Amino acid sequence: MRILFRSRGILPGMFLLSALLTATPAGLSGQQSQAGDSIRVEVARLAALVDSLRRSIAEMQDAAQREAAQSELERIRAAAQAATQAAAPTAQQPAGSQEFVGRQRSLQALNPEISVNADIFAHVRPDEPREENFFAREFEISIQSNLDPYSRAKVFIAHHVEGGDISPFEDPTAGADPAEEEGHGGEVAVEEGYVEWVSLPGGVGVKLGRFYQQFGQINRWHAHALPFQTRPLPHLVFMGEEGLAQTGAAFRWLLPTGTGSGTYEASFEVTRSESHTLFGESGRPSLLGHLNAFWQLSPSTDLDLGVSWLNGSYEDEANFFDRNLFGAEFSFTWRPAERARYRGVNIRGGALVLDGLVPSDSPPPAGAVDRALGFWSTAEIRLGQRLLAGARYDRVENPAQPDETAWLVSPTLTWWQSEFVRLRAEYDLLGQMENSRNGRFFFQVTFAMGPHKHESY
């Protein structure tokens, strides 16, 4: 009986323990689930609180910026009001009075731009080292004005003194006393004076007056803007020391081409024959055609090519247009974009052919040649921001006797003190085929006053 009682006591205990063990995992998992839900709720509440704080901070920053901007605006308004009160007249206007202010253009605005360019140099000749060493070769007054949105006018008045010029086919020591020819006297002349229309439809420009003609690029440059102290040797022999400048009309057309294919310009000029070197005493018309092409090969490299043709009459011969001058020029420029003020190379050159030396209405003499040839080349290397070294070589035939040939070699060293002042040292060695040579050392100073300086275009 005792055993049965114990058995009966053990069995209910075992059943109770088994029930507890079975029920415990479910209870624990339920408690864990309730704890996880509580954490998620708390995290969501904290995230909402953070978002609310962020919005509050952003609103406070916006309000502070608006307040600062409003304060700056009020400060500017107060300063403007104070300046207005300071500029206002102290005397009170009478009651009912009214002040009228003229709105017309002031007379000062109508004045043209005036500039002065000067070319002064010293030279030493081995044959006469102490004679006529210093020359104020040229003083030029430039008067320019934009007349209206469509046209502008330019006038260049120069006082030129003979001196330092190159005569390749003449003995510089022969003839009159150099003291009577060089460095004394001089004359005042209008180098250029023209009106130009620059904004006509279709890329067309028109020029009327006296101007340096578009026979290449170098001929358009004034003497003080040249890279050497004289024009190229073929220009001196075929067109004269002052270049080709005549009176008439010029028409320019900028051809409509697409971007990246280059820029092309065509020029046609009709002028009165005033060049004594080319046309003698003839006053008949002369015609000039010029075509120029420009390409930007890279951001640092440019190439410019041009061809020109000039046609006119020599003296008063029976046949018109019996004298022709042909020319071709090129310019190559390398200037790195990141160091354009410190490094660069420019190479120029050209060739000229003068045709029609023998009058067309008369038989040519025995052995006569009807044309003369010439070419020129220059190079400049930028060594620094202000220092340039250059050299040139020219060669030309004598139009009077084409079997005679002259050549010129010139090294230079140029110092740009500023864009207003330029100093140059140059040595010119002039020779002929007969082995006669003449050398001269030049020291040149050019300076400019006013808005228009050493213009090259």
Mean pLDDT calculated for residue range 342-360: 86
For residue 421, what are its two tokens? Answer: 């002042």
Give residue 131's pLDDT.
Answer: 64
Give residue 180's pLDDT.
Answer: 42
Give residue 175's pLDDT.
Answer: 41
273 in a domain, yes or no? yes
C-alpha span between 232 and 221 (Å, rounded): 12
Residue 241 has pLDDT above 80, yes or no: yes
Residue 2 has pLDDT above 50, yes or no: no
Give residue 214's pLDDT.
Answer: 93
Give residue 438's pLDDT.
Answer: 84
What average pLDDT is seen over the chain? 81
Residue 344 has pLDDT above 50, yes or no: yes
Which residue segment(s) compose the domain that 357 sits in?
194-449
**Could you tell me which residue, 426 or 33, shows the higher pLDDT?**
426
Residue 249 has pLDDT above 60, yes or no: yes
pLDDT interval class at 333 (50, 70, 90) = very high
How many structural domains are present in the chain?
A: 1
**Could you tell me which residue, 363 or 287, shows the higher pLDDT?**
287
173 in a domain, yes or no? no
429 in a domain, yes or no? yes
Give residue 129's pLDDT.
Answer: 62
pLDDT interval class at 338 (50, 70, 90) = confident
Lowest model confidence (mean pLDDT) among 18-32, 41-55, 285-299: 18-32
321 in a domain, yes or no? yes
265 in a domain, yes or no? yes
Give residue 154's pLDDT.
Answer: 94
pLDDT interval class at 5 (50, 70, 90) = very low
227 in a domain, yes or no? yes
Give residue 408's pLDDT.
Answer: 94
pLDDT tens-digit map of 120-145: 988 887 766 666 678 888 999 999 99
Read off the CATH number of the domain in which 413 is found. Answer: 2.40.160.10
Residue 261 has pLDDT above 80, yes or no: no
pLDDT tens-digit map of 181-217: 555 557 889 999 999 998 788 889 999 999 999 999 8
Residue 342, CA distances (Å) to 52, 66, 291, 334, 384 in order: 60, 49, 32, 12, 4
115 in a domain, yes or no? no
240 in a domain, yes or no? yes
Give residue 201's pLDDT.
Answer: 87
Give residue 352's pLDDT.
Answer: 96
Give residue 4's pLDDT.
Answer: 39
